[in-house]
């Protein structure tokens, strides 16, 4: 054991600097979970090709070729066929992954930040602050999430930013609820009392003692929303509220290929398959992480 690993460090980055045995245990359990490994490999492949799209793609996703419209899967030069305007499906799916995944991940990312903040504030301060925050959040639960997302992005106008914004609004309430209930649970524990007795400021108590103990469960819950987010984001685009054609995006592609379903059903189903597979993978990954973290040491 070297000195730096043993020495506790309570400066700005105090939590991460020490060996966190629970984190290691979680990683160890995940490494033995084959569902997690398969899902991560598939997701990694989709994410990787999305990031490296210009290198991986074989065609320009926007180049139209009227002569080779609706080619079947496996046709020459177009491994996954072509769409109704003769654009290469493989390249469009890869480029589409960029936007689709960004529109799925960003709302969850922002909602995780905002929801955790609101939930921690409500749970830690309690009383009137809790009532104001949590009752305001309850209002959003009156509407089904799909309806709420459609209503917000419909009202704001169709654009990528508005889709993300509307999804953030949809995801903040459930994440805050989880963060609030977890915070309430931790605030009742004696080490928070001990920290209060120490005279530390509320901010320090939240930063050092509370946050590290609630972030895990809230993160796992938020990650389970990614799969919903993919479907909602694609759904909004499908309805014409998000990305506009010809930009490649899975929801838009599904919409434009809708008429081709009798001609080339397999090609038309491809964007849906990608939505399904990535949503499933995110779900499995989040499930595996939860199982690995739930086990008490």
Partner 1 sequence: MKNSNANKALFNRDPILKVTGLNKVFGRSKGFFGKSTSLVQAVTDVDFEVYPGETLAIVGESGCGKSTTARLILRLIEPDSGNIIVDGMDISKNDALELKHLRKSVQMVFQDSYASLNPRLTIGQAVMFGPRTLGLSIVKAREIARETLSNVGLDPTRFEGLFPHQISGGQRQRGNIARSLAFRPKIVVMDEPLSALDKSIEAQVVNLLCDLRDQYNLTYVFISHDLNVVQYIADRVLVMYLGKVVEIGDVGSLFSNPRHPYTRALMASVPSRDPKIRTQSAPIMGDLPSPINPPSGCRFRTRCPYAEDICGAEVPLLTPQKSAGGNQVACHMEKIGSGHSKGGILDE
Find the part of the chain contacting partner 1 (CB under 8 A) among 115-123, 150-158, 206-214, 223-231.
206-214
Give 147-154 contacts, CB < 8 A, sequence gap 24+.
149/232, 149/235, 149/236, 150/236, 150/239, 150/241, 153/236, 153/241, 153/242, 154/241
Token pair 């949503």: residue: 279
Q: Which residue in the set 55, 76, 157, 297 belongs to the binding site for partner 1 (CB under 8 A)? A: 297
* Least separation in angstroms between CB 101 and partner 1: 31
Query: Which candidate, 109, 113, 104, 226, places its Cα nearest to that of 160?
Result: 104
Q: Which residue in the set 191, 245, 266, 273 belongs to the binding site for partner 1 (CB under 8 A)? A: 191
In sequence order, the 6+-apart residues with CB closer than 8 A to the CB of 102 are: none
* Least separation in angstroms between CB 86 and partner 1: 57
Q: Site residues for partner 1, window 229-288 (CB under 8 A)?
A: none
Over the window 8 to 27, marking each residue x when it contacts partner 1 by CB under 8 A and - when it does not, the resulting string is xxxx--xx--xxxxx-----
| Number of residues forming the site for partner 1 (CB under 8 A) | 32
Preceding omega of 70 cis (within 30 degrees of 0): no
* Least separation in angstroms between CB 39 and partner 1: 28
Q: Does 157 bind partner 1 (CB under 8 A)?
A: no
Q: Which residue in the set 63, 136, 161, 204 belongs to the binding site for partner 1 (CB under 8 A)? A: 204
**Can you read off the two tokens belonging to residue 261?**
């379903």
Judged by CB, which is closer to partner 1: 9, or 259? 9
- Angle of helix 34-51 versus helix 89-125 axis, rounded to 10: 120
Q: Does 4 bind partner 1 (CB under 8 A)?
A: no
Task: Give the side-chain half-sphere CA count within 13 A for 186.
Answer: 28
Judged by CB, which is closer to partner 1: 11, or 76? 11
In sequence order, the 6+-apart residues with CB closer than 8 A to the CB of 120 are: 179, 180, 183, 206, 210, 211, 214
* Least separation in angstroms between CB 17 and partner 1: 10
* Least separation in angstroms between CB 108 and partner 1: 24
Q: Which residue in the set 102, 208, 231, 269 belongs to the binding site for partner 1 (CB under 8 A)? A: 208
Q: Does 184 bind partner 1 (CB under 8 A)?
A: no
Token pair 């939240």: residue: 206
Q: Which residues bind partner 1 (CB under 8 A)?
A: 1, 5-11, 14-15, 18-22, 189-191, 193-200, 204, 208-209, 212-213, 297
């Amino acid at each position: 054991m070297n000195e730096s690993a043993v020495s506790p460090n309570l400066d700005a980055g105090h939590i991460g600097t020490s060996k966190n045995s629970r984190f290691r245990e979680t990683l160890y359990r995940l490494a033995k979970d084959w569902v997690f490994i398969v899902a991560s490999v598939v997701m990694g492949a989709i994410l990787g090709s999305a990031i490296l799209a210009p290198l991986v793609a074989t065609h320009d996703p926007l180049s139209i070729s009227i002569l080779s419209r609706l080619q079947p899967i496996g046709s020459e030069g177009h491994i996954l066929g072509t769409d109704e305007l003769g654009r290469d499906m493989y390249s469009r799916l890869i480029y589409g992954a960029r936007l689709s995944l960004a529109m799925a991940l960003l709302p969850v990312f922002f909602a995780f930040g905002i929801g955790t903040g609101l939930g921690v504030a409500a749970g830690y301060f309690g009383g009137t602050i809790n009532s104001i925050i949590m009752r305001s959040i309850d209002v959003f639960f009156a509407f089904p999430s799909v309806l709420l997302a459609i209503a917000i992005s419909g009202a704001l106008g169709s654009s990528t930013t508005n889709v993300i914004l509307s999804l953030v609004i949809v995801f903040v309430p459930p994440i805050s609820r989880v963060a609030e209930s977890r915070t309430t649970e931790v605030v009742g524990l004696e080490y928070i009392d001990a920290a209060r007795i120490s005279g530390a400021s509320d901010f320090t108590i939240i930063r050092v003692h509370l946050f590290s103990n609630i972030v895990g469960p809230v993160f796992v819950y938020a990650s389970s929303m990614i799969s919903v987010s993919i479907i909602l984001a694609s759904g909004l685009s499908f309805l014409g509220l998000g990305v506009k054609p010809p930009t490649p995006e899975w929801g838009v592609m599904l919409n434009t290929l809708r008429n081709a379903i009798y001609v080339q059903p397999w090609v038309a189903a491809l964007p849906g398959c990608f939505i399904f597979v990535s949503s499933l993978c995110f779900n499995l990954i989040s499930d595996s992480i939860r199982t690995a973290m739930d086990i008490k040491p």
